[in-house]
Copies of this chain bind each other. A is one copy, B any other.
Amino acid sequence: MHLSEKRQPLLNRVRRIKGQLEAVERALLEDADCATTLQRVAAVRGAVAGLLDEIVENHLREHVAHPGLSDADRTRGAEELVAVIRRYSR
C-alpha cells in the first residue's frame, strides 16, 4: 500500500542502480582500469545503502508508526525490521 504510493521513486532508484551495475559489468568486460571498477562498485554500494535506508524508513512509518494499525500489525512490522537489522547490520 505505501509502496504503491511511493513506488515510482523507489523504482527509479532501483533502475538507476541497475544502470550503475551495468557500468561495472562493462568495466569488467572491457578490462577497464582497476581503480575505475573499484570506484564504480563502491558507488553502487553507497546507492544500495541509500535505497535500503529509504525502504526501512517507509516500512517504519507505514507498518510500525502509522496511526490506525492494530497492535498486532505494529508488532509484526517492528519484528520484520528487527530481523533485517539483525541479519544484515554489522
Residues of chain A having any CB pair with chain B under 8 Å: 1-4, 7, 10-11, 14-15, 17-18, 21-22, 24-25, 28-29, 31-32, 34-35, 37-39, 41-46, 48-53, 55-65, 67, 71, 74-75, 77-78, 80-90
Copies in the complex: 4
Residue from B41, B81, B82 in contact with A48 in the complex, judged by beta carbons closer than 8 Å: B41
Residue from B67, B74, B78, B90 in contact with A88 in the complex, judged by beta carbons closer than 8 Å: B90
Residue from B4, B34, B87, B89 in contact with A63 in the complex, judged by beta carbons closer than 8 Å: B34
Instruction: Report how far A74 CA is from B7 CA in the complex, Å.
Output: 24
Contacts of A7 in B (CB 8 A): 28-29, 31
A56 to B31, Cβ gap below 8 A? Answer: no
